[in-house]
């Protein structure tokens, strides 16, 4: 486990009651008016990523945004089809004030709503 801080996430599919496997996630760092792309990843069978999004010296205080590609996942799992979907992308913008700590930003997903929080 990393000695410094780290950023992690996971996604739970509340429609099916299981982890959301194969959901695309984009990570951005917000620098003024710009969004700087840092990573593009997909969740594993446990709805998590195989490694932290950021950790140790790469994890800095500042503002970040996770974009969860809900539409692709919902269509692939036949939870919701057609266009437009109610939830296509879910952006979650948050601040990191102490980069020596663990920031966990999970997503609880359904076809017509979602919830997020700072987890542990």
What CA–CA distance (Å, rounded) separates 87 from 74?
9
Across 73-79, average pLDDT? 90
Q: Is residue 84 part of a domain?
A: yes
pLDDT of 3 reads 59
pLDDT in tens, 4-45: 799 999 999 999 999 999 999 999 999 999 999 999 999 999
Q: Is 31 left (phi over 0), alpha (psi -120 to 50) or beta?
A: beta
Q: Is residue 111 part of a domain?
A: no
pLDDT of 1 reads 39
Distance of CA 77 to the CA centre of its chain: 18
Q: Is residue 107 part of a domain?
A: no
Q: What are the E-state strand segments in the chain?
A: 6-8, 11-13, 18-19, 24-31, 34-42, 54-55, 62-68, 90-96, 102-104, 107-110, 113-116
Question: How many domains does one find in the chain?
Answer: 1
CATH number, domain containing residue 39 = 2.60.40.180
User: Could you give phi then psi for residue 58, rounded to 5 degrees?
Assistant: -80, -15
pLDDT of 2 reads 40
pLDDT in tens, 86-107: 999 999 999 999 999 999 999 9
Predicted TM-score of the model (pTM): 0.93
Other Cβ atoms less than 10 A from the Cβ of 47: the count is 20
Q: Is residue 116 part of a domain?
A: no
pLDDT of 120 reads 84
Domain that holds residue 79: 6-98
Q: Is residue 1 part of a domain?
A: no
pLDDT of 82 reads 73
pLDDT of 80 reads 74
Give the residue with greater pLDDT, 109 vs 3: 109
């Amino acid at each position: 486990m990393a000695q410094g801080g780290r950023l992690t996430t996971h996604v739970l599919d509340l429609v099916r009651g299981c982890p959301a496997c194969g959901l695309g996630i984009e990570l951005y760092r917000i620098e003024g008016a710009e969004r700087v792309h840092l990573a593009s990843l997909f969740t594993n069978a446990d709805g998590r990523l195989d490694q932290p999004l950021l950790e140790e010296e790469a994890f800095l205080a500042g503002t970040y945004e996770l974009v969860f590609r809900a539409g692709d996942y919902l269509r692939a799992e036949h939870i919701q089809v057609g266009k437009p979907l109610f939830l296509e992308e879910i952006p979650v913008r948050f601040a990191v004030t102490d980069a020596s700590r663990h920031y966990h930003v999970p997503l609880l997903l359904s076809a017509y709503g979602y919830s997020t929080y700072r987890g542990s």
